[in-house]
A and B are shown apart, each in its own frame.
Chain A
Amino acid sequence: MNRKKNLFRTALVAAVTAGALALTACAGDAGGAPATPAADQKLTIGLSADVADLKPARDQGAAAMMLDTLIHRGLLAYDADGEVVPALAESFEQTDDVTYTFTLREGLTFQDGTALTSANVKSSLEYLATPESGSKIYSAMSGLASVETPDDLTVIVTLKSKNVAFPEYLADTTAAILPDEAFAAEGTSWVGAGPFTLESTDKGISFTLVKNEDFYDAENVSLTDIEIAIYADGAARSNALIAGDVDLIDFVPWEDFDRVESTPGLVIDATSGPFMYVHFNVTDGPFADERVRQAVALAVNRENVASAAFSGQAAVIAGAPIPESSPFYNKELANGWDTDIEAAKDLLTEAGYPEGFDTNLLTSSQYAFHQDTALSVQADLAEIGIVATLDAPDWATRQEKALAGEYDLAIAGSAGVVNDPSFLANFVSGPAANNRSFGFDDPELDTLLADGLTAADDTERKAVYDQVQERILETVPFASLVGRSQAFGYNEKVVGFSNIPGFLTFLSGYTLADTTISGQ
């Protein structure tokens, strides 16, 4: 049924393309691009989760981020390589360590027609800096000192202290510039200044978007319509892509990678995204001793985790989780935790636990990969005498327990907000959180990370982050396991879409503004 529809559509497209080609040839156009766009520039996406409501500032998960990349834009954005590029701001300049001046483009409007001026930028940024907003980038925005708007097109942002990574946070989707209604008490953020406007939604089933003709870069946006269908179940999502019901899916399940890749006409675009790790309750018990934590880091067999929990689609991370593509990656330090059972046993003995000990491991039964990671780690720990019992409630309970420190060991999977190594701060310091070690406090590490933000130049930064990595290897605020492969699967005819590397994979929707449906 769908094959027939596809066949017909392809035939029609082919006919139109042939005609277009003929015309082009007649016009004598020297077309260099091999991919001729199809007449019908409509993209169908199979999304992994529903988005009940778009709220400003909050971290609402990957599906919401996909919608955000389509509906919204902030001062800055990311390109396909993960580099910060100007978006609503035409240009920006860093006038001194703590001051950035942004110049907005002229004639910007929101999708409802109202004008977008520096006043909107000011209210958006200030909202993000308030603790009640629950903003995802609060860690960076709390450093905001002031926002001045000398005229409608100029915004001067001053920070309390230097933050080299600040522009990267501004490129995140939650830093979108929103109309004032979004910041009202129960405000939602369905209206923005991005390349696509939300036309309609069928609750729990689909979203329909159309091109925003008033978008500042509208002439370079090829897609005219985007239809997003919700496929919460991984297998169903893969099946939809393979059957041709959708053109692109996110979150390709790891066990389906081979199936999708081997289907002719389909592409898998994967990057090592969020990383899995073990965190500890260091307030008392064996894990208060950093040697025991080191033993855990050395005992885990990371290939097994990748194989068992992710069907092999995960990259081993045996040190601080700095991506290989980052300029701050350090090859030697990246393998500091390579599996070494003997060393692990020696460390345990040194710490006073020659026979090992009993403990518990917090995970969640709600996510198979989470629980499978825990099972693999559990088996590895048993080898050095640590007998861990699994505690696997549902996710909500897991989060609550983790926040309250009701665990000895816990499995977590997380991503940084930005690729810049300053993201590490989130995992080693701050008030209690459900994704970092309970009670962990290392002033020396905190100082090093602060130095990283204020370093004078890249060479100095690299030196600082090398020290950070060494320190992490030593004090083990968490034990990295693997970086799980975050993949999009799509039809070959979707050209221009790209999976932005590292933690920015969830922002890959930014590249849909440059995506075309190819005719062949």
Chain B
Amino acid sequence: MNTPNPDEIPTVVSDLTPSGKTPLVDSRPPAPNRLRSSLTPLRVVAAVFIFVIVLATILADWIGLPDPVTQDIVNKLLPIGSPGHPLGTDQFGRDLLSRLVFGARVELVVALSATAIAVVIGTLLGLAGGFYGRWVETVTMRSVDVILAFPPIILALLVVTIYGPGLITLIAVMGLLFAPAYARLTYGQVVTVRNFEYVEASQVFGATKRRTLLGVVLPNVAAPIIVQLPLTLAGAILLESGLSFLGLGVVPPTPSWGLMVADGQRFMIANPEQILLPSVVIALTILSFGLVGDVLRDWLDPRRAMARNY
């Protein structure tokens, strides 16, 4: 598709202030300070939040949380603030705080794996398409188009129905769904670069086409990819929770935030915290990833930096 990526709107001057007043000189700070200037208080909070979540999932086994899977039906649906269960329990008597923390582990594992697969597959497809041109290009980039022509939930629905729900299927399907973004990024870079004169120039000096392109392309594409990563992570968490909500994601009793929302639906009226707690956590996590993404974008790829939001 020829439609340009909305993120790629060229900005004349990067450091636009929200009021629209623009300085006449390029006041873009030199590189080392760009990181500092791209951090705002809220973004710092977001980064800390993510750090805390990651820390919690790593240390989950050692911080004295009750087992998220052990049932205690006698104590089911306890309210927030019950002794021994600061956030209450679910309909099986399982501690909600514990399920949220261990659920975070599942979310992160799934999101990271899916993103890794997406980056690898996507980059490979984009590189291949860009390098070899002709029919390779057609096959790879049209495959990307086919994936994009499918509404994502439907693709996930079909794949999971065929192979059965489970972590492996989930990660594979999500990797496939998020690959096109990276394929296009990489492809775009390669296409832009392959016509540069200095590529021809370095070829005259004897460097192989492949080495030249790799040497030029990869550093250039690294930045946009890093910027895209948190967005993919957030998207993966969103998709996983949606699929679990439909019963196609993680298999219980493994905790997952999406599953908790789905289960909580049935008890909405009498026990709203069942659905509100995981919802809030999902929202905060996605929000934080988005903010961290903004930081990385402003820092690494100021050309594409959008007017800073907050």
Q: Which residues on A are within 8 Å of B, measured CB to CB? A: 235, 253, 255, 259, 301, 303-304, 307-308, 365-366, 368, 371-372, 375-376, 378-379, 390-394, 397
Asked if B266 is an interface residue, CB under 8 A from chain A, the answer is yes
The interface residues of chain A lying within 8 Å CB-to-CB of B76 are 307-308
* Complex alpha-carbon distance, A378 and B267, angstroms: 22
A376: contacting residue among B69, B92, B161, B165, CB under 8 A: B92
Interface residues of B in 237-252 (CB under 8 A from A): 247-248, 251-252
Q: Please determine whether A308 and B161 come into contact, CB atoms closer than 8 angstroms.
A: no
Choose from B73, B91, B252, B268 the contact partner of A392 (Cβ within 8 Å): B252
Verify if B71 is at the interface (C-beta below 8 Å from A). Answer: yes
Q: Which residues of B contact A303 (CB under 8 A)?
A: 73
Q: Verify B267–A255 contact, CB threshold 8 A.
A: yes
- Chain A positions within 8 Å of B263 at CB level: 368
CB contact between A365 and one of B69, B70, B248, B269 (< 8 Å): that residue: B248
Contacts of A255 in B (CB 8 A): 266-267, 270
A161 to B69, CA, bound (A): 53
Q: How far is the CB of A252 from chain B (nearest CB, A)?
A: 13
Which residue in chain A gives the minimum CB-CB distance to B269?
A259
Q: CA of A304 to CA of B71 in the docked complex: distance in angstroms?
A: 9
A379:B247 contact, CB within 8 angstroms: no
A108 CA to B282 CA, complexed, in Å: 64
Interface membership of B164, Cβ < 8 A: yes
Classify the secondary structure of A's interface with B. Answer: helix
Question: Can you show 6 pairs from A to B with CB atoms below 8 A apart?
Answer: A255-B267, A308-B71, A365-B248, A365-B251, A379-B70, A397-B164
The chain A residue sitting closest to B246, CB to CB, is A365
Asked if B253 is at the interface of the complex by the 8 Å CB criterion, the answer is yes
Say yes or no: A394 contacts B247, CB within 8 Å. Answer: yes
List the A side residues contacting B70 at CB < 8 Å: 379
Complex Cα distance, B69 from A304, in Å, reads 15
List, in ascending order, chain B residues with CB within 8 A of A394's CB: 161, 247
Q: Which residues from chain A contact B253 at a C-beta distance below 8 Å?
A: 375, 378-379, 390
A375 touches B92 (CB 8 A): yes
Minimum CB–CB distance for A233 against chain B, Å: 10
Besides the known contacts A303-B73, A375-B253, 13 further A-B residue pairs in the complex with CB atoms under 8 A apart: A235-B268, A372-B91, A372-B92, A375-B92, A376-B71, A376-B92, A379-B71, A379-B253, A390-B251, A391-B164, A391-B251, A392-B252, A394-B161
How far, in angstroms, from A375 to B91 measured CA to CA in the complex? Answer: 11
Residues of the A chain whose Cβ atoms lie less than 8 Å from the Cβ of B266: 235, 253, 255, 368
B252 and A390 form a contact (CB under 8 A): yes
Interchain CB contact (< 8 A) of B71 among A259, A366, A375, A390: A375
B161 CB contacts on chain A under 8 angstroms: 393-394, 397
Q: What's the Cα separation between A393 and B163 when bound, in Å?
A: 9
Q: How many A-B residue pairs have CB under 8 A?
A: 57
**Chain B positions within 8 Å of A365 at CB level:** 165, 247-248, 251
Cα of A307 to Cα of B268 in the assembled complex, Å: 17
Chain A residues contacting B268 (CB-CB under 8 Å) are: 235
Which of B73, B164, B248 lies in contact with A307, CB distance below 8 A? B73
The answer for the CA separation of A259 and B267 in the assembled complex, in Å, is 12
A400 smallest CB distance to B (angstroms): 11
- Beta-carbon contact of B73 and A366 below 8 Å: no
Determine if A308 and B73 form an interchain contact, defined as CB atoms under 8 angstroms apart: yes
Chain B interface residue number, banded: 20 to 34
Known: A255-B266, A392-B165, A393-B164. A308 touches B252 (CB 8 A): no
Chain B nearest Cβ from A159, distance in angstroms: 44
Instruction: Give the distance to chain B from A197, nearest Cβ to Cβ, in Å.
Output: 38
Give the docked Cα–Cα distance between A374 and B251 (Å): 12
Q: Which residues of B contact A376 (CB under 8 A)?
A: 71, 73, 92
> Which B residues are in CB contact (< 8 Å) with A371?
252
Closest to B263 in A: A368
Q: How far is the CA of A434 from the CA of B92 in the complex (A)?
A: 28
Complex CA distance for A301 and B247, rounded to whole angstroms: 26
A390 to B247, CA, bound (A): 13
| Set of chain A residues within 8 Å of B267, measured between Cβ atoms | 255
Give Cα A291 to B270, complex, Å: 43
Within the assembled complex, what's the spacing in Å between the Cα atoms of A394 and B164?
Answer: 8
Q: Is the CB of B252 within 8 A of A375?
A: yes
> Which single residue of chain B is at the shortest CB-CB distance from A305?
B73
Distance A368 CA – B265 CA, assembled complex (angstroms): 11
CB distance from A273 to the nearest CB of B (A): 20
**Chain A residues within an 8 Å CB radius of B252:** 371, 375, 390, 392
Cα distance, A340 to B70, chains bound together (Å): 20
Q: Which of A307, A366, A393 neighbours the largest number of chain B CB atoms within 10 Å of its CB?
A: A393
What 4 pairs between A and B have smallest CB-CB spacing?
Answer: A365-B247, A379-B71, A304-B73, A393-B164
Taking CB atoms, residues of chain A closer than 8 Å to B247 are 365-366, 392, 394
Rounded to whole angstroms, the CA-CA distance of A370 and B77 in the bound complex is: 19
A454 to B247, CA, bound (A): 47
A365→B73 CA distance, assembly (Å): 21
CA distance A255 to B161 in the complex (A): 28
Contacts of A368 in B (CB 8 A): 263, 266
> Nearest Cβ distance between residue A371 and chain B, in whole angstroms?
7
In the complex, what distance in Å separates the CA atom of A307 from the CA atom of B263?
15
Contacts of B69 in A (CB 8 A): 379
- Residue in chain A with minimal CB distance to B91: A308
Q: Which residues of A contact B91 (CB under 8 A)?
A: 308, 372
**What is the CB-to-nearest-CB distance from A408 to chain B, in angstroms, rounded to a whole number?**
16
The docked-state distance in angstroms from the alpha carbon of A372 to that of B94 is 13
Return the contact of B92 from the options A308, A366, A390 (Cβ within 8 A). Answer: A308
The smallest C-beta distance from A208 to any residue of chain B, in angstroms, reads 31
- Distance in angstroms between the alpha carbons of A222 and B267 in the assembled complex: 39
Distance A301 CA – B92 CA, assembled complex (angstroms): 13
CB-based nearest A residue for B157: A394
Residue of A nearest to B71 (CB): A379
Instruction: Return chain A residues, CB-CB under 8 Å to B269.
Output: 259
B261-277 CB mask vs A (1 if < 8 Å, else 0) is: 00100111110000000
With CB as the reference atom, state the residue of chain A lying closest to B268.
Answer: A235
Question: Which residues does chain A contribute within 8 Å of B248, judged by CB atoms?
Answer: 365
Q: A169 → chain B, closest Cβ, in Å?
A: 36
Q: In the docked arrangement, what's the CA distance between A394 and B162, Å?
A: 10
Contact indicator per residue, chain B 149-187, by CB within 8 Å of chain A (1) or not (0): 000000000000100110000000000000000000000
Bound-state Cα–Cα, A379 to B253, Å: 10
Residue of A nearest to B252 (CB): A375
Tell me which residues across on chain A come within 8 A of B270, comparing CB atoms: 255
> Which residue from chain B places its CB closest to the CB of A378 in the assembled complex?
B253
Residues on the B chain within 8 Å of A304, using CB: 71, 73
A378: chain B residues at CB < 8 Å are 253
Chain B contacts of A301 at CB under 8 A?
73
